[in-house]
């Protein structure tokens, strides 16, 4: 079941089987921003998008968007009439059409397509204005994907589905295109479902996170809340950690450092050339956070923050555990041994000092 009410919720319910695999999900997702669908290969991510788009059918399924039924009972709206923009791993541009004609093809597909000014805005956001007369064969992989996204937006979709759009690109091309995706998230009022198995993409782009495993949703909710869960630690990559929304508060050019201000305090990190005042995302891994009961003496670890233990959680190894610590309005995770926790009296409600050894700027 899929229901989208403009800025309201997106409701999904599917029971789909093929061979020995079953996708069984019942989710309520936000009707705005970027929802990342994250999980290992074979978990059902692509199938979920194809069901929404109508590329796969499930008996007894129901799909409605903003009160309009796409599938229910005897009603099945054909794929080409569903106001969905779909971006695949490969750009799938028409090789015999130049960029401008590829975009125009997208507009012709929909009676509700973007007008000229809307398409011009999408072209500007994606930085492809200088490519309009080029043929797909003359574009880089990143350029082709930006054109494919613009073509999907030309339909003026109610929902934009992106199925691992950067998976076929090398690291340099991914770095090229990610800022454009961030601009889309910030400036377009089109909800996006973004399938990925890349931790960096999810941490950088997502507002909401759905974690799929073997056809079932292990977790769903706002990105920061899901990453801070202790009952089911979600690892984006090789370790548990959180994502913070921050602003570059100051740049110390003498020491090549920048101060990242977030709701709970500030963290210093290496200067990445980002101007003061710019909003950024910061990732802090549990392995890079240590706890003390008294303010630590000056050391090489310069980021020291006061906090209060919010909760404790188990880890796979019986000798270690995770502590969730509230720092102002934010939550951070710290990994420590159970012996250290016992000797320090680490328990919910305990006042602590956090030493943050390293932070990663997501850019």
Q: Give all domains of the chain, ordered by start, each with its CATH number.
A: 3-227 (3.40.50.300), 241-361 (2.40.50.100)
The 8 Å CB, 24+ separation contacts for 61-67 are 61/1, 61/14, 61/16, 62/1, 62/2, 62/13, 63/1, 63/2, 64/1, 64/2, 64/3, 65/2, 65/3, 65/4, 65/158, 65/159, 66/3, 66/4, 66/5, 66/6, 66/158, 67/3, 67/5
For position 344, what pLDDT does the model report? 97
For position 149, what pLDDT does the model report? 92
Q: What is the pLDDT of residues 128-155, one digit of tens each?
A: 999 999 999 999 999 999 999 999 988 8
Q: What is the pLDDT of residues 82-104, one digit of tens each?
A: 888 999 998 899 999 999 999 98
Dihedral sign for Cα 348, 350, 355, 356, please: positive
Q: Average pLDDT in the 243-267 region?
A: 95
SS3 (DSSP) at 36? strand
In this predicted structure, the answer to whether residue 3 has a pLDDT above a threshold of 70 is: no
Among 78-82, 180-184, 209-213, the least confident range: 78-82
pTM over 0.85: yes
> In the structure, what pLDDT confidence band is assigned to residue 112 with cuts at 50, 70 and 90?
low
Q: Average pLDDT in the 49-63 region?
A: 83
List phi, psi (to 5°) of 225.
Answer: -70, -45
138-167: burial string, b at 16+ Cβ within 10 Å, e else: ebebbbbbbbbbbbbbbbbbbbbbbbbbbe
For position 234, what pLDDT does the model report? 77
Q: Average pLDDT in the 267-274 region?
A: 93
How much of the chain exceeds pLDDT 90, in percent? Answer: 60
Q: What is the pLDDT of residues 293-320, one digit of tens each?
A: 999 999 999 999 999 999 999 988 999 9
- Give how far the C-alpha of residue 194 lies from the chain's centroid of Cα atoms, to the nearest Å: 7
110 vs 360, residue with greater confidence: 360
In this predicted structure, the answer to whether residue 7 has a pLDDT above a threshold of 50 is: no
C-alpha separations of 123 from 119, 183, 199, 216, 286 in Å: 6, 12, 28, 37, 40
Among 67-76, 158-167, 180-189, 300-309, the least confident range: 67-76
Q: What's the whole-number average pLDDT of the chain?
A: 89
Q: What angle do CA 61, 63, 64 make, to 5 degrees?
A: 150
Q: Are 237 and 63 in contact (CB under 8 A)?
A: no
For position 77, what pLDDT does the model report? 83
Among 1-15, 195-209, 231-245, 268-282, the least confident range: 1-15
> In the structure, what pLDDT confidence band is assigned to residue 266 with cuts at 50, 70 and 90?
very high
Query: Across 10-19, 50-59, 326-335, which has the greatest mean pLDDT?
Result: 326-335
For position 113, what pLDDT does the model report? 65
């Amino acid at each position: 079941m899929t229901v989208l009410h403009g800025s309201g919720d997106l409701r999904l319910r599917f029971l789909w089987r093929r061979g020995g695999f079953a996708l069984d999900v019942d989710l309520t997702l936000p009707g705005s921003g970027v929802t990342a669908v994250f999980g290992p290969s074979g978990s059902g991510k692509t199938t979920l998008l194809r069901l929404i788009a109508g590329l796969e059918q499930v008996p007894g399924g129901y799909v409605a968007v903003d009160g309009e039924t796409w599938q229910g009972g005897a009603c099945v709206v054909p794929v080409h009439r569903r106001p969905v923009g779909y971006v695949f791993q490969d750009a799938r541009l028409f090789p015999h059409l130049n960029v401008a004609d590829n975009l125009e093809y997208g507009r012709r597909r929909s009676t509700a397509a973007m007008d000229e000014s809307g398409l011009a805005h999408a072209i500007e956001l994606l930085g492809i204005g200088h490519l309009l007369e080029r043929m797909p064969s003359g574009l880089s992989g990143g350029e082709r994907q930006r054109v494919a996204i613009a073509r999907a937006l030309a339909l003026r979709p109610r929902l934009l589905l992106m199925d691992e759009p950067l998976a076929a690109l090398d690291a340099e091309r991914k770095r090229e295109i990610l800022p454009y995706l961030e601009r889309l998230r910030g400036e377009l009022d089109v909800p996006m479902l973004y399938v990925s198995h890349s931790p960096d993409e999810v941490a950088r782009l997502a507002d909401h996170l759905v974690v799929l495993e073997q056809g079932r949703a292990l977790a769903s909710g706002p990105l920061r809340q899901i990453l801070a869960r202790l009952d089911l630690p979600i690892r984006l990559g090789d370790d548990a950690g959180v994502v913070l929304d921050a602003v570059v508060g100051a740049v110390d050019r003498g020491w090549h450092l920048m101060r990242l201000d977030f709701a709970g305090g500030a963290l210093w990190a290496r200067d990445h050339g980002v101007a003061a005042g710019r909003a950024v995302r910061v990732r802090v891994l549990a392995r890079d956070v240590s706890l003390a009961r008294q303010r630590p003496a000056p050391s090489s670890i310069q980021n020291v923050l006061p906090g209060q233990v919010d909760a404790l959680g188990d880890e796979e190894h019986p000798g270690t555990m995770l502590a969730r610590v509230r720092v102002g309005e934010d939550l951070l995770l710290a990994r420590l041994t159970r012996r250290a926790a016992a000797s320090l009296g680490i328990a919910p409600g305990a006042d602590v000092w956090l030493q943050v050894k390293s932070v990663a700027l997501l850019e």
